[in-house]
Amino acid sequence: MKSLRRLVREALTEDIGQEDITTNRTVPDNARCEVRLVAKENGVLSGIEVFRMVFECQRASIAGWGAIPDGQRFSRGDEIATFKGNTRAVLTGERTAMNFIQHLAGVATLTAKYVEAVKGLPVKICDTRKTTPLIRRLEKQAVADGGGVNHRHNLFNGVVIKENHIVAAGGIANAVKRAWEGTHHLMKIEVEVTSLDEFDQALEAGADAIMLDNMSLDEMRDAVNRANGKKVVIEASGNMNLGHIRKVAETGVNVISVGALTHSAPVVDLSLLIKNV
């Protein structure tokens, strides 16, 4: 909570500068307003906590707060949040609050579309570390609000041996061996591969999970068959999109990681409206 509040304060400082000269010159300092956050399109909510925190940090003296919960679907015209507060504080914090919630709702909404696209298949839609610096926790929560699951939150959460690690370690077998020797027995080890030959090497080395990077559908199916009967998680990754995500899921992979969930999600169109009280 402290780190989130610090993030909000830094975002407000970035946007306000020395002062909100427009609001402070045109709005009486004791004015209060009724606020409505309204959806202008369908979506899935995420970010309501940070949205409210912006106005708390602005000392808006919030009263009568009401909001739908994160993870809930909404339709165009729905009221997402309502409250009363100091008008100056509301107007000064408006853009920062909207930037947070529109982006995070966008992540949740896009994630929900991917989850819906693979409905009925035994596969999980997963995010990546391709997140906006300093708001990863919020973006990964938005993925969860949209029905997806989280990959590593940071580099300490698990071993993922990628192409450059393999080069630096002198091959897949050596990289996995060094990882096993350098971590505790509960740590999982994943290896990223770009070919079926590398897949076989990772399987032989005893990887707990294998990431298929930019492989064709036929290669994915082949990899799944080669892993039959083995306790290994197979993850598909690389340039995933809504147009072919179901075909990828139908290959039998266990997880599909989609960087676009966080780095390319369009914002959801929301509107903040006030009325003097």
Q: Which residues are catalytic?
A: 95, 130, 162, 192, 213
Rounded Cα gap, residues 138 and 102, in angstroms:
12
Greatest CA separation found in the chain? 72
The closest of 36, 27, 95 to 64, measured between CA atoms, is 36
Q: For residue 69, give the nearest of 145, 150, 8, 148 by alpha carbon.
A: 145
Alpha helix (H) residue ranges in the chain: 2-16, 21-26, 48-57, 87-117, 136-145, 163-169, 172-182, 196-205, 217-226, 245-249, 260-263
CA–CA gap between residue 59 and residue 93 (Å, rounded):
10
What is the Cα–Cα distance from 255 to 277, expressed in whole angstroms?
51
Residue with tokens 């930037």: 99
Backbone angles phi and psi of 151, in degrees to 5: -80, -160
Beta carbons within 10 angstroms of residue 50's beta carbon: 22
Give the three-class secondary structure for 56: helix
